[in-house]
Chain A
């Protein structure tokens, strides 16, 4: 026999009451006190927000070890929270608020006993005590601010949703700030050295030890970057598009295998690509000596006397391995483009008797062109910025550029200018940051172009069947 069909009247009544009034504050007796305590949520919010701001500032600026001051802020914030809960009859939360208070007190004690610096076993890394303080402060002030905001907004369920905003917004603001700091400092350090000379001069070994250090420049590296990007695009484009077409247009185990290995090329780290490049070069060196293959793969340079020496790696090799990085990007973009083709167009062209090649050239590829372009641009940006792949096969480009010359690029210069041999860093070390700035400009322009393309052609898909 089922339970009675009487609606639980008490539950209904509770719903109606809670709909009419949000959390009702406890009656304090005198109207003056009531009025005064109405301002309590705002005060609590103010205190918590200030504590939060101090914590953020402390995180980013690392103030004068004021851990007592700062944790005092946490204590005040949690006290405000406790008062709020007591005032608003929220018994379930009282325990939580008391716990927060106790946690703050414990934190004060622990921090007092911490030495000013915390360090690893061999003092390779250091953390100042105020970092811990800031983090604890943040952990306490953030929920308190959210709860105080909840009461300020009227303690309704919608207020509860709105009061979670600080919880989301704070990590976003802090991390965006971190990116801004990096970019700003990069510009600050790199811009002064980015003179016309720096771009138009080139590095050559005769400048070593010379007093004319300001005769050195980044030209070879800049041109090398563009050469690498062009060669990589040339290699990666047909292979990437072909792979994308194959994976989309065919079914079966082979297509799946190809798709899998393409994404695996991306998943295995760039370091493994670098190691493979190195082993290829070394293998050529061991077994091919001075043959044509060695010229192609290892590159060569001519010394002052005109003798040919093998280099660390040619532009060709570098471009081949960089394209391994870029092919999956282009393949994926091609795939997306092809899949977005409305099936009625595809079937229509088949019904008209078009051969596959015809359909490919006239319909599929033009349709996917924006996607392919976007993939190409993004891939080129990645090729420009890659250092790891080039690490073992690049040099200083002092002997010129060409598929068989030693590979070099702006990105590699950044690495070399800091870590290279002293003779090199003496001359080119000054350009480390300006090279980075220049590289960033190149990468950003490519990325912006790609994003713009995506935006421009995104409307095509949204509208469904309107073709631009």
Chain B
């Protein structure tokens, strides 16, 4: 049978296709009940509370969506400049030895699984929250008065149920989207920086030489010539980063928790505890060691965040591919 390689590779190649289709189908089918029973109106509402916790069940997923978007914005706006700086430094300014060492270090860092970042979130809490030089990290230093409340008003009204952890234990109490975003950017930088560096190295040398020959300095050449040529590569790096941030569960879970109780007010408030779609979905499906947030044995609502994530991922891929193609055509080497 001379054609056995074709047959073998074809059958192997069809597996990802069928699996992908099956997965998408299962999510769509499973979430169908949620749409029929609960309805799109409530699902896009901003109220979210579980039967178990507060007696009434509202499954508004808008806070979760906002959480995902906020995380994306914070993580990428931190990761992109730092990755750009690393890539520019390694590709254009540093001696090649330094560039190689950096590349290896980044390769190593990219092997750190997200759960480790999640676990170590705590080491980043103290720098933001509590001054160290004023004394010990104890309750006495983090007093309600310093925050603007009088002790009698504490805890402030409509604070979610687990906020009792703070402020009486400052070493354990940061649940903000900001912290999660910082950790996510640390997760994503080792993936983005080498891609951007490759894009910079692949810029054709003729325009760069022409620019230098005209008396433009290296920085001017970098900004006006090299970066525009590398733009399509940068966009694909950003796409990878965005997909990783969108789909992350562990960091969000450990830092922010798994329920977005309210829509952040004001919407850009990143110091809020707004769980993203992944964490909310995990909370609805259960298995986190705490009672799951929806009460039927098989709640269809749990699949709706997954569906939304799928749609968002596809949208990101499509949009960035369009942009990438446009820039690649314009700056074809």
Do A and B touch, yes or no (CB under 8 Å, in the complex)?
Answer: yes
Least CB distance from A24 to B in Å reads 20
* Interface residue B2 (Cβ < 8 Å from any Cβ of A): yes
Closest to B250 in A: A387
* Interface residue A28 (Cβ < 8 Å from any Cβ of B): no
Interface residues of A in 150-174 (CB under 8 A from B): 157-158, 160-161, 164-165, 167-169, 171-172
* Interface residue A32 (Cβ < 8 Å from any Cβ of B): no
Q: In whole angstroms, how far apart are the Cα atoms of A123 and B87 in the complex?
A: 37
Residues of B within 8 A of A432 (CB): 119
Measuring CB to CB, which residues of chain B are less than 8 angstroms from any residue of chain A?
2-6, 8-17, 19-23, 26-27, 30, 81-82, 85-86, 88-89, 93, 102, 104-105, 107-117, 119-120, 123-124, 126-134, 146-148, 156, 158-160, 163, 166-167, 173-179, 186, 189, 215, 217-219, 243, 246-250, 253-254, 264-265, 269-273, 278, 281-282, 285-290, 298, 302-303, 306, 309-310, 313, 317
A164 and B219 form a contact (CB under 8 A): yes
* Interface residue A415 (Cβ < 8 Å from any Cβ of B): yes
A-B contact pairs, 21 of them (CB 8 A): A64-B133, A125-B271, A157-B217, A178-B124, A178-B186, A182-B117, A239-B12, A242-B12, A268-B310, A269-B246, A269-B249, A273-B23, A356-B6, A387-B115, A387-B249, A388-B278, A391-B287, A414-B116, A418-B119, A436-B115, A443-B113
B30 and A279 form a contact (CB under 8 A): yes
Residues of B within 8 A of A117 (CB): 129, 146-148
Interface residues of A in 241-257 (CB under 8 A from B): 241-243, 245-247, 249-250, 254-255, 257
A261 and B116 form a contact (CB under 8 A): no
Residues of A within 8 A of B82 (CB): 171-172, 175
- Please encode chain A, from 254 to 298, with 1 for each CB lying within 8 Å of some chain B CB and 0 for all others: 110110011011011111111110111010001000000000000
Given contacts A182-B123, A246-B13, A391-B249, contact A123 B81 (CB under 8 A): no
A444 and B111 form a contact (CB under 8 A): yes
Q: In whole angstroms, how far apart are the Cα atoms of A268 and B308 in the complex?
A: 11
Pick the contact of B167: A123, A127, A421 (CB < 8 A): A123
Least CB distance from B126 to A in Å reads 7
Closest to A185 in B: B123
B158 and A122 form a contact (CB under 8 A): yes
B271 and A172 form a contact (CB under 8 A): no
Dominant secondary structure of chain B at its interface with chain A? helix
Closest to B160 in A: A122
Least CB distance from A381 to B in Å reads 5
Closest to B303 in A: A275
Known: A123-B147, A388-B250. 17 other contacts (CB 8 A): A62-B127, A63-B131, A64-B134, A117-B146, A120-B264, A122-B159, A125-B174, A242-B11, A243-B9, A246-B9, A261-B21, A269-B309, A270-B247, A271-B249, A272-B306, A381-B111, A418-B119
* Interface residue A116 (Cβ < 8 Å from any Cβ of B): yes
Residues of B within 8 A of A221 (CB): none
A272 and B27 form a contact (CB under 8 A): yes
A447 and B111 form a contact (CB under 8 A): yes
A161 and B217 form a contact (CB under 8 A): yes
A436 and B217 form a contact (CB under 8 A): no
Number of A residues with CB within 8 Å of any CB on chain B = 113
Q: In whole angstroms, how far apart are the Cα atoms of A335 and B219 in the complex?
A: 36
Residues of A within 8 A of B113 (CB): 382, 384-387, 411, 439, 443
* Interface residue A307 (Cβ < 8 Å from any Cβ of B): no
- Please encode chain A, from 58 to 85, with 1 for each CB lying within 8 Å of some chain B CB and 0 for all others: 0111111100000000000000000000
Closest to A163 in B: B219
Closest to B30 in A: A279
Q: In whole angstroms, how far apart are the Cα atoms of A378 and B108 in the complex?
A: 11
A124 and B272 form a contact (CB under 8 A): yes
Closest to A425 in B: B289
Residues of B within 8 A of A178 (CB): 124, 186
Q: In whole angstroms, how far apart are the Cα atoms of A301 and B250 in the complex?
A: 28
- Please encode chain A, from 437 to 451, with 1 for each CB lying within 8 Å of some chain B CB and 0 for all others: 001100110111001
Pick the contact of B163: A124, A272, A414, A419 (CB < 8 A): A124
Residues of A within 8 A of B6 (CB): 250, 356
Closest to A432 in B: B119
Closest to B120 in A: A182
Least CB distance from A438 to B in Å reads 11
B176 and A120 form a contact (CB under 8 A): yes
